[in-house]
Structure formats: structure tokens, C-alpha cells
Amino acid sequence: MKKFFILSTIAVLMLFPTNQFAQSKKKKSKKEEAATPPAEKKPESAIKEYSKVITKDAISDDGLFTVHKVDKKYYFEIPNKYLNKDMLLVSRLSKLPSNLGGGYVNAGSETNEQLIVWQRFQDKILIKSKSYNAVANDTLPISLSVKSNNYEPTLFAFDIVAFSKDSANTVIDVTKFYSTDVKAISGISAEMRETYKVKGLDDTRSFINKIKSFPMNIEVIQDMTYNASKPSMLEESESISIQMNQSMVLLPEVPMKPRLADPRVGWFTVSQYDYGSNELKSDLKTYIRRWRLEPKDPEAYARGELVEPIKPIVYYLDPATPEKLRKYIKQGIEEWQKPFETAGFKNAIIAKDAPTKEEDPDFSPEDVRYSVIRYVASTTRNAVGPSVSDPRTGEIIESDVIWYHNHLRSYRNRYLLETGAANPKARTLQTSDEEMGEMMRMVIAHEVGHALGFPHNMGASSSYDCESYRNGTFTQENGIAASIMDYARYNYIAQPGDQNIRFIRKMGAYDHYALNWGYRVIPNAKSSQDEKATLDKWILDKSGNPIYKFGKQSSAFDPSSQTEDIGNNSMKASTYGMKNLEYVANHLSEWTSNVTNDYGDLDELYKELLDVWSRYVGHVVTNVGGVYENIKNPNQAGNVYEVVPKAKQIEAMNWLQANAFASPTWIVNVNTLKNTNFAGYTETFRNVQVRHLNNLLSLGRIGRLMDNEILGADTYKALDLFKDTRKGIWKETNTAVNVTIYRRNLQRAYIDRMAFLMTEEIKPTDRSIIYYNVSQSDLRALVRGELNVLKKSLTAAKVLGVNTETKYHYEDCIKRIDLILNPIK
């Protein structure tokens, strides 16, 4: 009965419409309804189906990563197997405005190199900049601390936008990374941003030019324009436009066994701190940069037979290379075959023409598998030999030697100026193809040397006696330096009448020695440490012989390691050089404008002649306050640093007074100037002289000479420098001699330099300039004393029988000295 009642009640209720029951509830107010938030929409996932991102309109390029271009966006499709793999990211300037970086930055200059890994974090892909500066074996407990205290920065974070259909690849949008101002890959350094007042990147004028993928690398070309108040050129544009080349290179899965560096043999290097060392501190390990060369037949190699490498070093010639230069470039590359034979390898380095499109349609100079000698149509006068190397081991992966077309003109000009007196073949603007080819051959050999791992060896030319450069047999056999890696370009010592002279540089004994040291495989050596005793013995076997000395380019204080010099005595070499230069100056019109009926070449060469004159002077200046650096280990006799003997420093000072600071005779060639300049004759030479006077009285040089006081009486000291400079610059004050305009300019420059030394605020923390406290040193006491002596001499000299210009000059100089010693407050 109950059951029937309940069912009946339910049936009746179902007859009424539901809205009647709703109306029976309390109605909400409009205010309450407005306060009720709308239901949230479920966010659409950022990760989309592959086909919705990489559409049928995509332009795809397969390689290390597949690169897709969809409309204006670029995507990387990254195989997951390459996540967490070591790669190298190299940033280079490929195009840049004139004078960017003060003219010391060229197209092809590297702006950054960093080891990176691509990592997945949740729904993102990160680029992490990975450092090998601090390492420890993963099996050691300290490796945990190394990782914790060297946490790598994230360069960029990308949202994952899709996965491939088989989920083996991850797709990210890289458009923003390559088209915005990411400092880590920028070509505009912090210093440039300050110098040129860079406000930021102009997004409307910046874009990705192209991205190309190859089996082992990806190349990106960016066009970037920055808003800048003071650009390096076209200031009214308020813009700096550069083109960057970003290279991303996959590093070898199995790292090469590295070779420990030794500063006694010159190599480019990579360094890292090994916290797993048994030393009581982190152990700095430095490895040389070299190609991986392994003999095809290790047993034959071990027996001393010449063996081909498994993978030779191959350089391809740029198809743009002029036909008449090709053979010389190939010869320059293969100049290194003989040194490689010294190291036990035959056919280790090979030059080839680039394949045609028909022969290999996939060949590209941008492909990291190919090293190329690039021939660039540019007004830049330079050549460079950069390389890409593995920061973990120093293994060179690839290199492109860059030759800029106008560099030929530089070599023609210097050939004429430096050898024209003794070398009739150089006395022309139309240098023969054979002569130019030989020069180019040796320049290419020099740049390939860089690409093989060698830095400049500025000590190689000082191993030959100056008189040897006048000996035809010696120069033909040995060239003009013991290494092609020196900046010894021409034999400027040989004199007119010397016979059978070689004027152009060539490979030397040091090149064979250093290449053998770095590339010869040492049998049974399983680790870098196992090689150390053998490598040390090779050095000791050659120690004491100057032709095997390595001289660092950075040794600005060492007169035996100077750039652009030759011979073991700067004064003698520069004297010979000046004699030749005088001959050239007197015949320059005859060899140029008289032939061409145009003054353009005469003007260009005369300006460069002044540069050559200045170089010869600079070589002598380095002897004053000079210190010889002979890099050696404690098991070798003698000291690392030896002060240049006093007699030699005095010889240098006398040479400078007689040649650099005297009134010019032949160097200011009036006949040339009257046809090339309407004014500025005296200013041009004043500028050159003052440069060397200021260098002579530089803070670093004075500091080294002050140090000499502790060495005893028979050394050249700072006081000697000041006295000898004053006596030479002001020798006219001792007699009734009129002072020429050149000397008046130089004497006023002397006072200005003394004022700088006396009053300028010097930052004692600037280690690149000085290494002592200026205000608490003897420096200003010496300057004050010399100025007081000079003032007395001037006071006496102005009443002697001199002309009006000289008298006014002396009176002016006295006033200037008074203002230094007693400044107006």
C-alpha cells in the first residue's frame, strides 16, 4: 500500500513543468548575477599537432636539425637524440660598417664562441651555455660540487610547439632567438655599445636572412640594425647595420685525446681547471689546438715510416678565386706537407678545387665538413686563418682561411718600399705575377699555419744575424725568419749590389720542429700525462738554439720578439732599412707618377713610406727599458727574464737622437709633397716623431727602468733615460743654434709629455699600462728635477745669438714649465 502511494506521488510530480519548481526558489538579484564569474575556458594547449605547425606550405631543409620556414617564421625540428649533446655555437661578423671597432675588426672576425647543449625542461627546450673551464671525472664525489658551483646559464628558452608524428623530434620556433638582440650571440660588444651610443636593436630593420642545415652544422645569417647616436660611419644615419653568421656545430661523440701545451712551443690553446687532480688545488690543464691526425698503419708509423692519416686535412679553393692565383694558393696550403712529413705523415694536407654543381650538388663552403680558402672581393687589406675547435680537447673541427682581394696591394706596396733599393724587380707598380704569386703563396702558408694551431712566433726573425740577410746563399736556404709564423715579410736589410738575395719569407726550421712536437703520435701513450716526458725531451734537445725559440707576440717589452722586424740587432737592421728607404724616397716619383701620369699612387706610397720609417724607429725604441724573455723550465740553465745590457740601451738612445728625433732631411720629400698635399707638411712628421717620443717616455718603460736600480750600477736606469732624452731633444740650448720648426714642435711635445707624467691622474689599477703606484714612486721627482734643469738651460739659451722664432720658442717653453711646476689655482 505504501509502495503504491509513493509511486503515485512521483507520477503526479512529473506532470508539473520544472520551471514552476525553479520559480519557487528565491530569485537572485541583478547585482548577485553580475558578481557571478563566467565559467573559465579551458586553455588551448601550446603544443599543437605537427601538421598545424609545419604546414604543407613549409619550406624544409634537412640536416643536423630539419629547418622549416613557414611564412615568416623559422622552426627547428630537433631530433631528441641530439638533446644534451655537446655543440659549439660560433658567432662571427660576416659584414660590417667601415671602422667598426676602430678598424681592428674585420669581416670574418669571431665575436663569441661557446659550448652549448639543448635540454628539455617540462614543455620547453632550453639552450644552456656549457663550460669546460672547470671539470672533474663523473666517478669522483667532487664532480657534484663542480656542477653545483658552475651552474650553466640559460641563453634562451623556447616553447615546444609540436612533436613529430613518431615523437622522435621536437619542434620549436627560433624566429625570436635569431631576430632579436640576444647579447650572447651579438656582434656588438658592450664596449661598442658604449662607444657608439647604441640605444637598442631596431626590430623593423632586423631579420633572419637565411638558415641552412648541414649534416653536422647549422648556419644562420642575421641582418641586424641598431639605433646608435654615434655610429662608426654615416653619423647622420644614427644606425649601425651588421650581418652576423651564427654557426652551430655538433662536436665529436668520442673526444680526441688532448695534448698538454707547453709555453716554450707556440700553440693556440684551450684551458680547464681539473678539480679531480691529486694536486692540493684545482689543476689548470692547457691543451693545444690541433687537427685529429691518426695514422692508417700504426705499426708502420711506429717503425718510422711515412704513413697517410686516416682523415687528411683538405682545403678547397673558393670558386671565386682568380685563375692566375690558384696554383700559388694550392702551393701555400701544401707548403705544410714537408713539416707534416717531419711528423711522420705523408699527404696530410691537400689542396683541391671546389667541386662543380655537377660533380657535387650538395657541396657548400658553409658545410663544416669542408674547409675552404675563401676569396673575398673586399677593400679590406688583410687575410685571416680562423678555425673552429672542440673546447673539451682542442681538436680543430674546421677552418676557413679568408683572403681579401685588396691585400695584394698591401704586399705590392711594401715589396716596393722595403726592397726596392736592392731589388730591381720591386721597382714597379706592375709587380709580376710570379713575384705576387710567391708572396701570396707564403701569406697563405702563414694563414694555414694559424688554422693548424700556430700563433705568431715573433722571435723567429731574431735568430738570424743581421749580416746574414746580405748573404745570397744564406737567404735562399733559410729565408728571412726561422718560422713562417713570424711577421717578417721582406728582407729590408739587403743593400744595393748584394747578389742572389731572397727578399720574400719562407718556411723555416721552427715550423718543422713545432709541427712535429704537436702532431707526432707518441706510441703507447694512453693519456696526455703519458706524453709529457717525451714532449719535454724534444724541447730540451733543441734548447739553446735560437732558431727553435718561440717569442710571444704579447711580449711588447722584448726587443727580440717584435712584429715586422728582422735580424738580431734592431739598431743595425733599422740603419740598413733607413738607407734603403732613403733610396726609395728619392726614386718614388720615377717609379710611380712618372710612369702613370697620375699622382694617386705616389701619394699612397709616400704615406706608407712614412709608416715603414716609423716601424724601423719603433723597433729601436723597444730596446730601451727592454727585457729579453726566454721561456724555460727550472731544469734549464739561466733566467727567464734578462734586462737588455746597458751598452745596448745607450746605443738605442743614441740611434734615436740621430735618426728619429733629428730634423728630417730626406724623409720629408718636398718634391713629393708639393704634388700631393697643399698643407700639413710639418704636422705629418710631428705626429710621427711625437708618437715615438711618448712611447719612449711611457709609464711601463719608466717602471721597468726604475726596477733596474736594484740590479746594480751597471744597468740603465730611469734617471739615465730622462737625462739622455733631455740632452738629445734640447741639444740646441748648449750653443747659439737656431731651432728648426720640426725641433720646436718636438720640444713642445716633450714638455707636454712631462706635464702628463707630472700631473695626470693615473689609475694604479690599470695593469695594462703600469705596475707601480705613480704618485708614490720616483717618477714625479725625476720629472720635476729634469724640468728644473731644463728651465735653467732655456733661461741661459734665450739670450744667445738666436733668431726671433727660437727666442720666442724658448720664452714660451719657460712659461709652460712654470705652469707645470707652479700651476695656477
pLDDT at 679: 86
- How many residues can be counted in the chain? 825
According to the model, what pLDDT value does residue 600 have?
94
The predicted pLDDT at position 19 comes to 41
Q: What percent of the chain has pLDDT over 70?
A: 89
pLDDT in tens, 269-325: 998 766 555 554 456 789 999 999 999 999 999 999 999 999 999 999 988 888 989
Give the span between the Cα atoms of 503 and 550, in whole angstroms.
23
> What's the confidence (pLDDT) of residue 233?
85
Say if CB 92 and CB 108 are below 8 A apart.
yes
Cell 620556433 found at = 173
For residues 163 and 171, is the Cβ–Cβ distance under 8 A? yes
pLDDT in tens, 566-590: 999 999 999 999 999 999 999 999 9
Residue 9: is its pLDDT beyond 70?
no
pLDDT of residue 144 exceeding 70, the answer is no
- With both helix axes pointing from N to C terminus, report the angle between 718-729 and 681-696 in degrees, rounded to the nearest 10: 160
Per the prediction, the chain carries an average pLDDT of 88
Q: Is 3.40.50.970 the CATH number for 254-582?
A: no
Nearest Cα to Cα of residue 100 among 182, 195, 185, 181: 195
User: Which amino acid does the sequence have at 591?
Assistant: W
**pLDDT tens digits, 518-570:** 999 999 999 999 999 999 999 999 998 999 999 998 778 999 999 999 999 99
Q: What is the pLDDT of residues 384-397, one digit of tens each?
A: 777 889 999 999 99
Q: Helix, strand or coil for residue 7?
A: helix
Residue 676 pLDDT > 50, yes or no? Answer: yes
Q: Please state, for a pLDDT cut of 90, what percent of the chain lies above it.
A: 70
- Beta pairing, strands 217-228 & 239-250: antiparallel
Q: What's the CA gap between 90 and 109, in Å, rounded? A: 11
How far is CA 538 from its chain centroid? 30
Q: Tell me the average pLDDT across 578-604.
A: 96
User: What would the mean pLDDT of 114-131 be, rounded to a whole number?
Assistant: 92
pLDDT in the model for residue 322: 87
468-517: pLDDT as tens digits: 999 999 999 999 999 999 999 999 999 999 999 999 999 999 999 999 99
What are 707-716's pLDDT values in tens digits? 988 887 789 9
pLDDT of 31 reads 45
Q: Please, which pLDDT band fits residue 697 given cuts at 50, 70 and 90?
A: very high
pLDDT average, residue stretch 189-201: 90
User: Which tops the pLDDT comparison, 184 or 519?
Assistant: 519
Break the chain into its structural domains and give their ranges.
Answer: 53-251, 254-582
The tens digit of pLDDT for each residue in 783-810 reads 999 999 999 999 999 888 889 999 999 9
Q: How large is the average pLDDT for residues 691-719?
A: 92
**What is the SS3 assignment for 317?**
strand
Cα–Cα distance measured from residue 655 to residue 341, given in angstroms and rounded to the nearest whole number: 45
Q: Which residue, among 519, 517, 455, has the nearest Cα to 262 in the 3D structure?
A: 517
C-alpha to C-alpha distance for 166 and 168, rounded to whole angstroms: 5
Which residues, other chains included, contact 156 with Cβ-Cβ below 8 Å and sequence gap of 6+?
126, 127, 177, 182
Q: Is the pLDDT of residue 146 over 80?
A: no
Average pLDDT (769-778) is 83
Average pLDDT over residues 74-88: 96
